[in-house]
Copies of this chain bind each other. A is one copy, B any other.
Amino acid sequence: MKTIFKSLLAITVVSLVLSSCGNGGSKKGSQGALSSSAAEKVYVAPGEHDEFYAFVSGGFSGQLAVYGLPSGRLFKVIPVFSVDAEKAYGFNEETKPMLNTSHGFIPWDDSHHPDISQTNGEIDGRWVFINGNNTPRIAKIDLTTFETTEIIEIPNSAGNHSSSYVTENSEYVVAGTRFSVPFPQQDMPIDEYKGNFKGALSFISIDPEHGHMDIKFQIRMPGFDYDLSHPGRGDSHGWFFFTTYNTEEANSLLEVNASQNDKDFIAAINWKKIEEYVNNGGGKKMPANYAHNVYDEDTHTATSTMKKEVLVVDPSDVPGAIYFMPTPKSPHGCDVDPSGEYIVGSGKLAAELTIHSFSKMLKAIENKDFDGDAYGIPILSYEATLAGAVKQPGLGPLHTEFDGKGNAYTTFFISSEVVKWKLGTWEVIDRKPTYYSVGHLMIPGGNSRKPFGKYVLAMNKITKDRYLPTGPEVTQSAQLYDITGEKMELLLDFPTIGEPHYAAGCPADLLKPKSKKFFKLEDNKHEYAITSEADAKVVRDGNEVHIYMTMIRSHFAPDNIEGVQVGDKVYFHVTNLEQDYDVPHGVSMIGANTSELLIMPGQTETFVWEPKQVGVWPFYCTDFCSALHQEMQGYVRVSAKGSNVPITFTLDGDAVDAE
Contacts and interface: CB of A to CB of B under 8 A. Distances in A.
A552 B46 CA distance: 45
Interface in A18-38: 22, 24-31, 35-36, 38
A190 B637 contact: yes
Interface in A247-286: 251-259
Contacts of A103: 590-591, 593, 612-613
A63 B85 CA distance: 10
Given A45-B30, A616-B185, A624-B461, A473 B251 contact: no
Contacts of A51: 26, 28
A584 interface: yes
A485 B659 CA distance: 64
Contacts of A49: 24-28, 467-468
A628 B255 CA distance: 6
A472 B516 contact: yes
A624 B499 contact: yes
A166 to B, nearest CB: 21
6 contacts: A28-B43, A146-B473, A159-B590, A187-B638, A396-B627, A461-B624
A133 to B, nearest CB: 8
Interface stretch (A106-114, A204-212, A316-324, A378-386): A106-114
A38 B472 CA distance: 33
A3 B251 contact: no
A370 to B, nearest CB: 28
B86 A85 contact: no
A622 interface: yes
Given A24-B49, A255-B628, A637 B588 contact: no
A61 B82 contact: no
Contacts of A653: 2-3, 252-253, 256-257
B555 A6 contact: yes
Interface in A465-495: 466-475, 479, 490-495
Interface string A35-57: 11011111111111111010000
Contacts of A110: 588, 596, 622
Instruction: Count the copies.
Output: 2
Nearest to A595: B108
- Pick the most buried of A31, A87, A474: most chain B CB atoms within 10 A of its CB: A474
A65 to B, nearest CB: 10
Interface pairs A-B: 7 shortest CB-CB: A103-B591, A185-B615, A108-B595, A39-B43, A254-B631, A469-B515, A146-B471
- Pick the most buried of A104, A492, A580, A633: most chain B CB atoms within 10 A of its CB: A633
B108 A596 contact: yes
A288 to B, nearest CB: 12
A70 B631 CA distance: 35
A75 interface: yes
Query: Size range of the interface on A?
Result: 35 or more
Interface in A50-90: 50-51, 53, 58-63, 66, 68, 70-77, 82-83, 85-87
A123 B61 CA distance: 33
A44 B495 CA distance: 13
A633 B62 CA distance: 19
Interface in A177-234: 178-179, 181-182, 185-191, 197, 225, 227
Interface stretch (A7-15, A420-428, A444-452): A7-15
A332 interface: yes
Contact of A620 (B159, B491, B494, B553): B159
Contacts of A596: 60, 108, 110, 134
A582 to B, nearest CB: 5
Given A187-B615, A593-B104, A7 B473 contact: no
A295 to B, nearest CB: 13
A26 B50 CA distance: 7
Interface in A411-470: 413-414, 435, 437, 439, 461-464, 466-470
B146 A470 contact: yes
B630 A227 contact: yes
Interface string A624-657: 1111101111110111100101000010110100
Contact of A552 (B7, B640, B655): B7
Contact of A45 (B38, B105, B560): B38
A519 to B, nearest CB: 6
A470 B612 contact: no
B466 A47 contact: yes
Nearest to A612: B103
A495 B65 CA distance: 13
A533 interface: yes
A76 B493 contact: no
B470 A630 contact: no
Contact of A468 (B474, B512, B603): B512
A101 interface: yes
A107 B593 contact: yes
B614 A181 contact: no
A86 B101 contact: no
Contacts of A72: 73
